[in-house]
Structure 1
Amino acid sequence: MKKLVNAPRAVVGEMLEGLVSLSPEQALLEGESVVIRADIPADVHRREVAVLSGGGSGHEPAHAGYVGSGMLHAAVAGDVFTSPSTDAVLAAIRAVAGPAGALLVVKNYTGDRLNFGLAAELARAEGIPTEVVIVADDVALRDTVEPERRRGIAGTVLVHKVAGAASASGASLAEVARAAAATAAALGTMGVGLGACTVPAAGRPGFTLGEGEMELGLGIHGEQGVRRVPLQPADALVDTLLATILEDRRIGSGDRVALLVNGLGGTPPMELAIIARRALAVLRERGVLVERAWSGSFLTALEMPGCSLTLLRVDDERLRWLDAATTAPAWPRNGRIAPARRIQPVAPAPSPSGAVNVAHPEMVRFKQAALAIADAFEAAEPRLTELDSAAGDGDLGISLARGAAALRALPESSWSSPTRALTAIGNAMRRSIGGSSGPFYATALLRAARHLAEGRQDATAWAEAFLAGVEAVAELGGARPGDRTMLDALRPAADTFAHELKAGRSPAEAWEACVLAAEMGAEATTRMKPRLGRASYLGERALGVPDAGAVAAVVWLKSLSQSIA
């Protein structure tokens, strides 16, 4: 287990100290694992209805992240995945509540219900009006337990928001409790886990999953789901989750909802955005009106990879509570979305001039040579991915495969002349290949095209265009031979081709020597310490593996041998 902690027993206290240090609107309750608002009036008669929540730690940013005006007045933290004590909850109630009373928002777990429930009884005995609202939004358990015994999961955050906003408006305890209970009853949530999390005190994952498996319908405490199923693509998974929520909550065409896409702690924003994209599309296809939507990590399970989807029925009043201002540090923006995905049309590129003569035999051979490069890039994708993963970000193989697809998709008009073809290929590389390879290849091809357009197009002119393209790469990236880049293959290849032609060799012989020089240059990179690019961060750790960009250059140079012969 690798975690950035000092000691398992100190995790919760040190975490709360860090969170409060970053949030000027918050304070720690002395001697307790409780975060409270820093602006609680000393005069208890000036206090509004206090909204409290909490539970085991490990769900960050819940619950402390939602302490702020317009949301929670206090959050009570237990040990990781363990309910806080009754005394801690009671101390929190005393610290923030007054005659207006307190509302406890409790997730439906036995420990939380017992400790928060007992604390409520003790608070009432002390004269503090206290109500409890239980959140049980996990629809995955619909065929397992009665509705009132379902778990409380990510939808709890929306109950926090509604209750806090109602309290800030000056509503009474009965009104705040009624708004919170109605919100809890209108929620449906379902989650999926792609792997387990590790509780610091345990030191090992709670369960294991195969590479092709996932847990469907899991809670927020590192436990297994309702059932283990084969791994699904994101869209299919969203369809499964939404189908269950929509059926259970009886949401259909014309209904108004808020959508919460929640990461469980180990899911990057990229994947959550893909989930949100599909969820919005499905809901719109079904005629469900998505009034608000949020995507992010709101209630997590340590570092568990996975997500949950929550749907909340809304009306105008509930939307006002969701839209109301809050200083809670973890609450996101207002959640307003466009009625449909906006797509701005791209300004068309200027059309190339010149006559189109695709049928010319030389251009037929030119196109065949270009398609041979595409074949070579696709065949080399696994190897280039492996090499780039060793010293880069691992995307070179798939990037060049995208370039190959773009090359094949060029219209026939692109193949009317070498200049037009090189320009079209360069633009296609620019648009389809991400990272540094796209700009490098595009710059080289565009420079070579301009060079050929200026005069003759014999073998010597092609050698000069090759040199011009390589020089363009050097100018753009600032690299030189010996820096462990594609130039370590391209520069000796271009120099050798020009030299051999000048020495009287045939184009085929010169190209054979050119490819050999490129192969030797790429091989030499295994002994070079990188000085540019992402590989430079590895220093000597990159030694022993050839540079992926240099190897890619060899791939396309080699693929042209038959065409030139």
Structure 2
Amino acid sequence: MSYRTKKLISNPEDVVTECIEGMVETYPGLQYLDGFPNIKVVLRADVSGSTYDKVAVISGGGSGHEPAHAGYVGEGMLTAAVCGDIFTSPPIDSILAAIRAVTGPMGCLLIVKNYTGDRLNFGLAAEEAKAEGYLVEMVIVGDDCALPPARGGVGRRGLAGTILVHKVAGAAAAAGLSLADVTAEAKHASEVVGTMGVAFSVCTLPGHFPSDRIGPGLMELGLGIHGEPGADVADLQPADVVVSHVLKQILSTETQYVPIRRGNRVVLMINGLGATTVMELMIASGKAVPQLQLEHGLAVDRVYTGVFMTSLDMAGFSISLMRADHIILQRLDAPTKAPSWPVGTEGDRPPAKIPVPLQPSRIETNEKTQLLSQPHELSEQGRVIEAAIEAAANALISSRDQLNEWDHKVGDGDCGTTMFRGATAVLEDMKKCYPLNDVARTINEIGTSIRRVMGGTSGILYEILCKAAYANLKGSPDVTSKHLAKALEAAIAAVSKYGGASSGHRTMLDALIPAAAALNEGLDAGDDPVTSFVLSAEAAWRGAELTKNMQAQAGRSSYVSAEILVSAPDPGAMAVATWYRAAALAVESKLRLIQIE
């Protein structure tokens, strides 16, 4: 069998699986879950979630960046790493499996690079784990200093500086700190680190032709770790000139990417991107240290030179600078058995794999054993919920073509089709298994239905919406209108947190946020809850229509010109307004009929 590039592989589809198999055989302190290869989780061989008495630190992302992330699993660093396919965020089920496998009563911290897929998948997994009773926090790392400050909620990309954050968090956890304190140290570390990369060739995915995007005698400045084009292309320069340019960009006082000023102490990381020789990396280190000292007036306390976060076989390197203080240096110097820090491992070889936890360890017993099914007799509340779900789903089904038409103008044209799939699945599942007399669990099951059929960003966002609402409502014996209003606020906060958008960014939130505000205003004023719900639906509709005049700052529409955007409202916001208004009117109608009965 021949491939388009010469690679030591068997099948391009199996490279991640086979890489992990080799890793756990090489390092006896690592093992993987027995759901492999579908669940690609590498974890410490000496940790069991049921007995682990420290904060678990979990990271991960797409593969192709080896030794990141699995190479940093070990005592004193990561407790587990979740591996996606090449340059692809790992699935939610794998992230949940990792949380369940290693998280004890102290909880766990998720460290996530700032890419939309990672934010959403890890965010949804965090919400599901919280609903199961786990203590979970998340820190997002965006250390890219190459591009201008991002517009809206997208933010800076996560690059090799993430590895330094792993080390700080892992050492803090190993020292026995609480989840709040480990999270605080990791967040602080993420805020004082900056990175910029330089490439001399583009990476080649297994089984693909190499790219000639960077021509002979040229280099690309500020590219991403997935081979994304950089900020600029320039003639190849000597090492000292290239290093000088990168350092000046990271330390620029105009952009203020990182809070490093003359007189500060810093940590320096020179990272190879995959095909750069050790000799070249050492040359870069040798040029960087005196420049930092003499030109920028910085004290270089630690230098790490090697291969930390690659981009497959890309020729190039990145420089990371972290402002150092006593605590950060203490954490970086703390012992670790993570094989790629680099520190060797020792000890007896345990089994290479352990079973995947089949169910949460701390979810209530009655919820473990109770099978979901529609109740034989619906309560008044159950009948209202049934009517609302049915009306909302049918409204989306009827709106498929209109939503697609709007999305063809400002997106990729499938918003209506995606909503149609989700609405159809919800209607089918409601007939079979929704516990309609239980509001919280019904909302949770809607999220499960959506996960099964709705792909892309919208599917994840809607599931986050449902799971966060469920987590907020869970445990409320009698769900009231005010409970639902608070659950809606919690769901909106979760979507904003993990999706990176907020009001005015031309997203689904521009319908949800006005709706929540109007609902709370009515309830606080003592108005009838149903009337407040209907009025909030009108606020959602007005908010969605106003998106036509907004400049998109998140999602695919952020790449579309303002002239095109004014031709259509945001399809995601209009979808929200459609189902929300249909549900509100159905609740009003159903309650009127019940009163007549």
The residue type paired with residue 251 of structure 1 is I
Q: CA deviation at 1:47?
A: 2.8
The residue type paired with residue 39 of structure 1 is D
Q: CA deviation at 1:314?
A: 1.1
> What SS class does the counterpart of residue 211 from structure 1 fall into?
coil
- In 1, the alpha carbon distance for the partners of 2:81 and 2:212 equals 29
- In 2, the alpha carbon distance for the partners of 1:27 and 1:237 equals 40
- In 2, the alpha carbon distance for the partners of 1:60 and 1:250 equals 29
Is 1:226 aligned to residue 231 of structure 2?
A: yes
Q: Deviations over 1:285-306 (max 9, x none)?
A: 0220111111011000001000
- In 2, the alpha carbon distance for the partners of 1:207 and 1:121 equals 42
> What SS class does the counterpart of residue 139 from structure 1 fall into?
coil
Say if 1:103 and 1:133, in contact at 8 Å, map to a contact too.
yes
Query: What does residue 179 of structure 1 align with?
Result: 185
Say if 1:108 and 1:134, in contact at 8 Å, map to a contact too.
yes
Query: What does residue 441 of structure 1 align with?
Result: none
- In 1, the alpha carbon distance for the partners of 2:259 and 2:168 equals 22
> What SS class does the counterpart of residue 53 from structure 1 fall into?
strand
- In 2, the alpha carbon distance for the partners of 1:174 and 1:157 equals 20
Query: Could you say if the C-alpha distance between residues 80 and 54 of structure 1 is closer, same or farther in structure 2, counting changes exceeding 3 Å?
Result: same
Of the candidates 296, 319, 322, which is equivalent to residue 332 of structure 2?
Answer: 322
- With the length of structure 1 as denominator, give the TM-score of the two structures: 0.57
> What SS class does the counterpart of residue 260 from structure 2 fall into?
coil
> What SS class does the counterpart of residue 229 from structure 1 fall into?
strand
Query: What does residue 56 of structure 2 align with?
Result: 50
- In 1, the alpha carbon distance for the partners of 2:152 and 2:189 equals 19
Query: What does residue 216 of structure 1 align with?
Result: 221
Of the candidates 24, 28, 35, which is equivalent to residue 28 of structure 2?
Answer: 24
Of the candidates 91, 103, 117, which is equivalent to residue 111 of structure 1?
Answer: 117
- In 1, the alpha carbon distance for the partners of 2:93 and 2:271 equals 31
- In 2, the alpha carbon distance for the partners of 1:146 and 1:310 equals 25
- In 2, the alpha carbon distance for the partners of 1:297 and 1:147 equals 31
Q: Deviations over 1:208-248 (max 9, x none)?
A: 21111111001100221111111111110000000011123
Q: CA deviation at 1:147?
A: 8.5
Query: What does residue 356 of structure 1 align with?
Result: none
How much identity, in percent, do the aligned residues show?
55
Q: Deviations over 1:157-215 (max 9, x none)?
A: 000000000000000000000000000000110001100111115x1235521111111
- In 1, the alpha carbon distance for the partners of 2:51 and 2:73 equals 21
Q: CA deviation at 1:46?
A: 3.6
- In 2, the alpha carbon distance for the partners of 1:166 and 1:144 equals 31
- In 2, the alpha carbon distance for the partners of 1:328 and 1:13 equals 20
Query: What does residue 287 of structure 2 align with?
Result: 278
Query: What does residue 240 of structure 1 align with?
Result: 245
Query: What does residue 276 of structure 2 align with?
Result: 267
Say if 1:49 and 1:102, in contact at 8 Å, map to a contact too.
yes
Say if 1:159 and 1:183, in contact at 8 Å, map to a contact too.
yes
> What SS class does the counterpart of residue 125 from structure 2 fall into?
helix
Structure 1 unaligned regions, length at least 5: 335-565
Query: Could you say if the C-alpha distance between residues 305 and 146 of structure 1 is closer, same or farther in structure 2, counting changes exceeding 3 Å?
Result: farther
- In 2, the alpha carbon distance for the partners of 1:163 and 1:300 equals 21
Say which one has the larger Rg. Answer: 1
Is 1:39 aligned to residue 46 of structure 2?
A: yes
Q: Deviations over 1:81-100 (max 9, x none)?
A: 11100100000000000111
- In 2, the alpha carbon distance for the partners of 1:22 and 1:331 equals 15
The residue type paired with residue 278 of structure 2 is P
Q: Which has the higher contact order (CA 8 A, sep 6+)?
A: 2
Query: What does residue 266 of structure 2 align with?
Result: 257
Query: What does residue 142 of structure 2 align with?
Result: 136
- In 2, the alpha carbon distance for the partners of 1:55 and 1:308 equals 19
- In 2, the alpha carbon distance for the partners of 1:227 and 1:155 equals 21
The residue type paired with residue 252 of structure 1 is R
Query: What does residue 122 of structure 1 align with?
Result: 128
Query: Could you say if the C-alpha distance between residues 102 and 33 of structure 1 is closer, same or farther in structure 2, counting changes exceeding 3 Å?
Result: same
The residue type paired with residue 85 of structure 1 is P
- In 2, the alpha carbon distance for the partners of 1:168 and 1:143 equals 35
- In 1, the alpha carbon distance for the partners of 2:293 and 2:342 equals 23
Structure 2 unaligned regions, length at least 5: 345-597
Q: CA deviation at 1:250?
A: 4.4
> What SS class does the counterpart of residue 251 from structure 2 fall into?
helix
Q: CA deviation at 1:144?
A: 4.8
- In 2, the alpha carbon distance for the partners of 1:197 and 1:74 equals 27
Query: Could you say if the C-alpha distance between residues 243 and 60 of structure 1 is closer, same or farther in structure 2, counting changes exceeding 3 Å?
Result: same
Query: What does residue 533 of structure 1 align with?
Result: none
* Number of aligned positions between the proteins: 332
> What SS class does the counterpart of residue 149 from structure 1 fall into?
coil
- In 2, the alpha carbon distance for the partners of 1:328 and 1:23 equals 9
> What SS class does the counterpart of residue 244 from structure 2 fall into?
helix
Query: What does residue 6 of structure 1 align with?
Result: 10
Is 1:77 aligned to residue 83 of structure 2?
A: yes
Query: What does residue 306 of structure 1 align with?
Result: 316
- In 2, the alpha carbon distance for the partners of 1:282 and 1:120 equals 42
- In 2, the alpha carbon distance for the partners of 1:223 and 1:206 equals 12
Of the candidates 291, 295, 302, which is equivalent to residue 301 of structure 2?
Answer: 291
The CA RMSD over aligned residues, in Å, is 1.5
Say if 1:87 and 1:119, in contact at 8 Å, map to a contact too.
yes
